[in-house]
Structure 1
Amino acid sequence: MSDQASDPGLRARQVDALTDEEAQAELAALAAEIAHHDERYHRLDAPEISDADYDSLVRRNRAIEARFPELVRDDSPSRRVGAETAEGFSKLRHGVPMLSLDNAFADADFLEFCASIRRFLRLEATETLAFMGEPKIDGLSINLTYEDGIFVRGATRGDGTEGEDVTRNLLTLADLPRQLTAPFPARIEIRGEVFMDKADFLQFRAQQERAAEERDERRARGEKVGPAVTIPANPRNAAAGSLRQLDPAITAQRPLKLFAYAMGDASEQPAETHEGWLQRLRDWGFTVNPVSELLADEEAALGFQKRMAEQRAGLSYDIDGVVYKLNRLDWQRRLGFVGRAPRWAIAWKFPAEQATTVLLGIDIQVGRTGALTPRAVMQPVSVGGVMVSHASLHNEDEIARKDVRIGDTVILQRAGDVIPQILGVVTEKRPEDAQPFAFPDRCPACGSHAVRPPGEVVKRCTGGLVCPAQTVERLIHFARRNAMDIEGLGAENVQKLFDEGLVKSPADIFRLARHADTMRSWEGWGARSKKDAKKVANLLAAIEARRSVPFERFIFALGIRRIGEANAKLLARHYHSFPAWRAKMLAATTIGSEAREELGSIQGIGPAIATELAEFFVEPRNLAALDDLAGEVTPQETVVVAAEGNPFAGKTVVFTGSLQTMSRDEAEAQAERLGAKVTKSVSKKTDFVIVGADAGSKATKAAELGLRVLTEAEWRGMAGLG
């Protein structure tokens, strides 16, 4: 690692001023930080930084990749979606994934979004882009399915692929049409937001506070009291908690409203523009946000953003920004999605809120990859109506750069419903005896040395499998809902099973039935309480139900560094089965091998992630644990279903040269929609090479290997693009 890579000021440097070596180090640091925050958000449901700050990390990562394309690590978190489903609800799979949106925070961000649309569609700079501007409601996203015009089921967004079945609860909403007015598609998914307006929230919160006080008084008198009363921090929490009640009668008592705004899967397209789609929703009886407006061009959108910022406080409901959607639906379909977000929409967020408080201490947390992450412990303070007492300090470089010391008065920033980030220190209020924070060089969980790998900003525990914190975190990750999805096996229960010596590896989870009597003897597991009598039986049943899982879930559950959900899906789609993947990964441990080249050429994987996979499989203890697990679990094969007449499904394709009728990005996205595997290099396993102008060495190699080469026109014809 260079001196610049460890310089605390590197993060503040402009992208254009970075050297190749600095850019490489910064990409490595960003990958580590973003992966950590993904884990905090998606697994622990305990984010440490604001939406604005998280997105600033992602945007810097993208900016560096754009400036240094040859250094792209291919482990960006931009493909991640949503949160996990909660216990107590069955799950529903969305016909079309409910993806999240990329964010903008300034005029320049929005204008770059518009420029990216023009680049992808190859539009002239003079081509007008019309948008629908819709205030971004701070509520709970839902997916409503109608068949033959009748509402049949509804689900929360969940992890984007499947969500919680809240059909019965949704039926209590007055704003939900039970039947659509003809004409309507035979089947359609309608997306919207369930929310609580400000006045209703204040009244509801006051009711909850009174109920909590009465409960405390009854308890003080020695009377029996029911479950604790939840006092929501903000309207979003109130809406989400109300819709997720297990008893629909409780939901019916809550003042919930619904705005509809988007379309998911549909048997036919009911409109040609987004404006027309919103009108169709109104015709069907839905409430559409009345402030939504058709904007003729970018300038109109910039003006709308300013007006919404000024009018925000006067609206009856909370908004945290404006969503801008390209009005032409045919362009939306061409643009498609990249990772977790559509290319045709963006959420322009309002500035974050700030406050000051005193830093009381700094805790060090240990993650499943051994990352040591500092967390600020602060005097509780209200930020945007929410009391907070913790914030992220990211890593030791951030602590040094901001010179944060225990006892300091710090400035917090909060955007959205997350724990805030410390922006800086009010130095004039610093205590005279405040000392710079000494970041530990040993793991607080196991005492092993903590080292900082070259090119990274994160210190990591070297204890590996002997570190209890890492082992427990890996087990929690394994059982999480978008991994193996073992209901009832959350962090607390994993910790208990580990402490009791029953679970030390993932395979041990599937052998817990042998210890059922022991588990039932534990307090809170059925020893004394009738309420907990079925806890062990339910847990064992949930474990048995996950002995066969989709292959991509199995890969993600292993917790291999840099293998998030998106990359796990890429691997599952490419190798199809666990035996094939295992064999190929073992072969890929040899640098320069055909298997290693194949792995690194997978679009979205690349050589850096290939190295991480090879390092995982070259470790004998990892392989032993994997094989032990494979003896208990059978991953389902990934099958790519070819549409009738589609010659590209399941085939490996490479694009080379300059295309004339579409951009390379659009062509690759179209090929993936057809079920093809897009790779970056030509090999004897390539099925099709599509060549444009100035194709170069890839076309030459394709000819040498005798591969099937297609012109752009032939590709379009076979793909059904006309």
Structure 2
Amino acid sequence: MTKTPDPAARIAALRQQLDEASYRYYVLDAPTIPDAEYDRLLRELEQLEAAHPQLVSPDSPTQRVGAPAGSHFAQVRHAIPMLSLGNAFDDAEVLDFVRRIGDRLGRERLIFSAEPKLDGLAVSLRYEHGRFVQGATRGDGFTGEDVTANLRTVKAIPLKLRGSGWPDVLEVRGEVYMPRAAFEAYNQQARLHGGKVLANPRNGAAGSLRQLDARITAQRPLAFFAYGVGQVEGGALPDRHSQVLRQLRQWGLPVSDLTKVVEGAEGLLAYYRQIGARRDTLPFDIDGVVYKLDDVQGQREMGFVSRAPRWALAHKYPAQEQSTTVEAIQIQIGRSGAATPVARLAPVQVAGVTVTNATLHNADQIKRLDVRVGDAVIVRRAGDVIPEVVGVILERRPKGTTPWQMPRHCPVCGSDIVREEGAAVWRCSGELSCPAQRKEAIGHFVSRRAMDVDGLGEKFIEVLVDAGVVQGVADLYRLDLDLLLQLRLVTSAQTPEGFLRAAREHLASGAYSTLEATVARICGKAGAVPDTWQAELLRAGLPAFDWNRKKIASKWAQNLIAALDKSKHTTLERFLFALGIEHVGESTAKALAAWFGDLALIRTLPWPLFKRVPDIGGEVARALGSFFAQAGNQQAIDALLQRGVVIGDTHPPSALLRQGLDLATLLVDLEIPRLTRIRAESLVKALPEVDDILQAGPEALVGAGLPQDTAAALIQWLREDDHAQLLQAAGAALKQLDAITPQQATGQAGPLSGQTVVLTGSLEAMTREQAGAKLEALGAKVTGSVSKKTSFVVAGAEAGSKLTKARELGIEVWDEARLLEFLAGQRA
């Protein structure tokens, strides 16, 4: 037999929970439960106290508005209490609200002022003779905190009222809030730089106003809306609330333009639904709308209950925050390879939508929040923003949970997941081979500055990949005229019916019947056509078409096949850029091609050897190493070569490489802790081979001239992360380079050898790319930024900041006429 709960015990427990939640929210600015759960507990307490009035006590959460003022701010006693509002959660409660007012005032026609209920922090602004003199939080409704200095930093709050006619004392009440866009931008920067991430815009507003240092508040993107008045002395205000708000706006106080005057319960509910439909697109968070009797005299007649006015009501929307449980944390690979951790959740309703997944942004955010599988968490969904986990309810953490670790391998392709030093984002290094990155990789591969395949647009790539026709960049070279025409027929059709009408022109009756049956199977009933029907149709396979050339244009397909065939004959720099390696742009690809000259060599080099190329540092070198270390990427390159891609400008490595083909330089490039250039040279003098270093113990290393701490650091480094194998492989590659690199440069140096040139502005006789190629052919290094190392700048029309900087540094500037004269002289 189930035991009936003791009402007194349950009331005590609810009060304790609500008091704790209020303290953490109002005083600590660290909420532990979402609003919806707080509201549910409060309503349960109200119902119990209504059923057992003898158990009501003055210190119950139902008898006050908020939490006591914090002790570190001066207290402000409100001349007129800042009471909270009663809540409605369904239409019936709104109808009852209107009925009660009508019965009490004896009126049939009731006019209301309706406005959005902002999710921020309620404040009071005191103006004396039009000047802002004091600002306070609501606190417990009777006593708040003096936050005048902080409120003065909010630009939306006027320090002096506009116009004239204001009362001697005017207390304006309103909401300080943080706009959504500003909140997201603030958090994005916080995540990038390891700062404190705000849980939600409301928490951001509350925390900002309660900073002891107003300079911190000034850095926060806060805004303000006025929604009413409190104390008024030495003057009068209009007798309707809507007119009061209009007057406040004229005096320079911001008032929401969503405020509206409506009539009766129908008007209130229509407003609720209208604002609800716009809720996700509003620039600020709201958790409901507020209804106020517009007649101020009627407000006085209605009066108050213990904690709220009888003439006003907050009609709440479904909560944007809820608590649920993390069932798993998985990695989602984006189109660019970014690895984003996603929490798989026990289903929960948030803002009217069932949420089962929420982003955790990155590994640093998981560490900051300490989210673990099994945790009870607070999930937030606001507008079109992807649901996110914003906090952990540590009190509910089950025993035995362990901190989460980023997996080592991509869940899609198995390639290594890598993280650049100092970066927040982890990435899958299987750029060419990872299905998650396939569309992005193909789009980059065919772009103009890469393989230059004109005619293969984003829509075609989407359908080709989704249909499984193209599973990698090499599959592009298997496309034929028939497949491309089928592709055009499918992608240009808006509906399956439209596709069938177009296809009928090119199929015999039997083949058409087969196609019709395939379409029916894929698309099912009318009105239930899947968004992916085009890709599914191609995946299912189409019958052989007998093309009616009068009914379909094929020239574009012939041009695309010609462009693909032409792209097979390319240069090393274009090919390297087309691979889409992280951090490898056109200039880096050009440098790699110039210095190493051969794809077969580049794809086998350990990453430290890439640092031999000027302007390639550790970050880019590691990205190159990670890319070529993945078997899938190597297989993709092999497939491209097997499909007939030919690199026509292969050549031996540059003789300039010889300046760094020594073991001491390699050791420095490996970035071994404490191993400076001088110490590396001393070590190699005593131990000239890689095997010597690998076999040396602490005594031998110290004997070779290394300090004890450096010797210990080297030994520790060799024990970690396969560093010993890396050193061995790099040493072998060093010897290979030494054997194939010419002793000296062949041919004559160009007239611009050793000079660095920058092009800026627009040229008339040629493009900047064409001009750059001509200058490079004469030995120049063409870069995109001006520095003290720049030899001269070529400035065309509308040259901007680069020209300005060149003049500031005293660098020589050529116009287009001088460039053309110089180039003509080289041809003579």
**Between Structure 1 and Structure 2, which shows a larger proportion of helix residues?**
2
Instruction: Select the structure with the greater relative contact order (CA < 8 A; seq sep ≥ 6).
Output: 1
Larger Rg, first or second structure (1 or 2): 2
- Would you call these one fold, judging by a TM-score over 0.5? no
Q: TM-score, normalised by structure 2?
A: 0.38
Q: TM-score, normalised by structure 1?
A: 0.44
